[in-house]
Amino acid sequence: MTQTDLDSRLLHHLGVLYGEQAQELLPRLHQVISHHIELRQGECLKRAKWDEQDIMLITYGDSVQYPGMKPLAGLKQFLDRRLHNVFSMVHILPFFPYSSDDGFSVSDFRSVNPDLGDWDDIAAFKQNFDLMFDLVLNHMSREHLWFVNYVQDASPGRDYVIEVDEEESKNLSMVVRPRASPLLSRVRTPRGNRHVWATFSNDQIDLNYANPEVLLEFIDTLLDYVRHGARAVRLDAVAFLWKELGSSCIHLPQTHEVVKLFRTLMEVLEPGAILLTETNVPHAENIGYFGEGDEADMIYQFSLPPLILHAIHTESTRYLTQWAMHLDQEERPAGCTYLNFTASHDGVGLRPLEGIIPDDEVDELIEEMRSRGAFVSMRANSDGQDRPYELNISYFDAFRHPEEIPDRWHISRFSLSQTMPLALRGIPAVYINALAGTPNDPVGVERTGMTRSINRRKWDGPELENLIDHPLTETGRVFPEYARRLKIRQGIKAFHPEAPQRVLDLPDGIFGIMRTSLDGQQEVLALHNLKSRVMEIDLSEIYGEKVNWFDVLHQEIPDMSADTLRMLPLQAVWLLPEKE
């Protein structure tokens, strides 16, 4: 791209956002770009964005701790010892200084929390893993210097927040909320009490992107993260970025334009880097962040966790198959893909089920999860009513029957739930507490007062390693088998993130996907039995010609009678056809 072409694109982005200010802002943006190029060591990221070997681990910087070691160093030791060549990328959740929300209320966007380690500890992970960082760009902590300056009417920060007076507050009725807490937070200042925008909590003050200084700060921060080793950057809560009184304040055109501007900069400066948008919303809204191939490189598959949870609990694939078939028919821009996950550091979102599963069945799922120890987080609707927003529960315990002790199918259900996303088009992401088969942590909820803490256990490293090495423990049954399946997946070219996918129309209770490698040389038939009983499937109806099948997942010839496959309860198979 020539400098003239780049300037034309940058002026367009800035013009959409700031109108006539664009011309005077362009030289400022050039300064940020030049600063990045000057500080960058070596060449920019030039590589294929992904392939079938890409699998992401999601973890906090202190999820695994060892006595006498900095948490980041301890985490690296655990990953190097146990997961080298199993995961290609590690998403270290916000590791910056913070005041609340386990890191998502950032008080300094440019530093590493000294309780975890330092930038050298972050860089050390790059010996064996690529990295993803969070750009928590919607809000800041009340302890951030910018907010302190706002209170004192000083720069920078004085104009970095969004003040709303009583008269203007009447225009907030349409605002879409992810929480039930008040939208406005009262702040005492020398100028008197003020009310500022706080989408997520009283300690997370939204930033004012109508002020271009804020955007320039975060462009510089984005580039700083890439220089510090981020192959991917996750745009946290980006859907709420831009605010306009009298609107919903979610997915506004200016928000999409900010993502497009980031994408333009990455394509030019760091073409191997990946932008991931975090938008926990209904599916049709979520995929809007692909744009026309000019926004996110990758988006979360937010409908997947609750859909799989519902499907396995009801032993029905009706809604999951319909959704997946519709997904295949959607226009997905070339060079874009999905991040497929089930468990995460947050809860299981319920909004992504809107328009997919009827409300009464969602309510039944909620009650099922309550019986397994789940908390239900609420959000405020525009009509003033609170509605369920997410389930807070360990994904492992979500499959444990509360009245059957021991539950003979518990680990089988959970393992199936974790295997299903591995076959879908996209990149798999695995939360460390799912990998470890971690149960609910009610003590953590009691300690922090946060319901999300139920799924954020911090492990003592020696204890975790001891459990992994003992096959009679739940962790010992889950962790090694999970890692084995991930390793097998990495060797299957048909599981390339962009390889063609065909969702099969099969009897209810069987979820099937046919994947074909990009070169057309390899096919994989991934079948999943969600029933707690044996199911038989006529493979001749799926695959027309006569072949011999090999189950690469279990490294064996499958249980076949003529063309009929016999699947055990809650079993998954990855079948490779060998033509006669």
pLDDT in tens, 134-171: 999 999 999 999 999 999 999 999 999 999 997 787 88
Distance of alpha carbon 122 from alpha carbon 225, whole angstroms: 11
Best CA proximity match to 317, nearest among 131, 457, 136, 511: 511
Residue 392 has pLDDT above 80, yes or no: yes
Q: What is the dihedral of CA 288, 293, 296, 301, to 10 degrees?
A: 60
Catalytic residues, by residue number, are 236
pLDDT in tens, 486-519: 999 999 999 999 999 999 999 999 999 999 999 9
Distance of alpha carbon 326 from alpha carbon 285, whole angstroms: 15
pLDDT in tens, 230-248: 999 999 999 999 999 999 9
Q: What are phi and psi of 501, to 5 degrees?
A: -135, 140
Average pLDDT over residues 327-351: 93
Q: What are phi and psi of 33, to 5 degrees?
A: -65, -45
Q: Is the separation of the CB atoms in 286 and 302 below 8 Å? A: yes
For residues 222 and 547, the model is more confident at 222
Residue 366 has pLDDT above 70, yes or no: yes
pLDDT in tens, 39-89: 987 767 667 899 999 999 999 999 999 999 999 999 999 999 999 999 999
pLDDT of amino acid 141: 98
Structural domains of the chain sorted by starting position, each given as residue range(s) with its CATH number in brackets: 501-579 (2.60.40.1180)
| Confidence label for 332 from pLDDT (cuts 50, 70 and 90) | confident
| Confidence label for 384 from pLDDT (cuts 50, 70 and 90) | low
Q: Is the separation of the CB atoms in 522 and 576 below 8 Å? A: yes
Tokens representing 210?
A: 């109508």
Place of tokens 């109108």: 19
Average pLDDT over residues 291-316: 98
Tokens representing 263?
A: 């994408």
Distance of alpha carbon 348 from alpha carbon 304, whole angstroms: 9
Query: CB under 8 Å to 80, separation ≥6 — which residues?
Result: 127, 128
Binding-site members are 101, 139, 234-236, 345-346, 452
Distance of alpha carbon 463 from alpha carbon 469, whole angstroms: 10
Report the interhelical angle of 253-269 vs 212-227 (nearest 10°). Answer: 40
Binding-site members for substrate are 101, 139, 234-236, 345-346, 452
Distance of alpha carbon 219 from alpha carbon 227, whole angstroms: 13
Average pLDDT over residues 291-312: 97
pLDDT of amino acid 383: 66
* pLDDT over 90, % of the chain: 89
Residue 525 has pLDDT above 70, yes or no: yes
Residue 206 has pLDDT above 90, yes or no: yes
For residues 485 and 387, the model is more confident at 485
Q: Is the separation of the CB atoms in 218 and 225 below 8 Å? A: no
Best CA proximity match to 44, nearest among 219, 231, 217, 218: 231
pLDDT of amino acid 45: 66
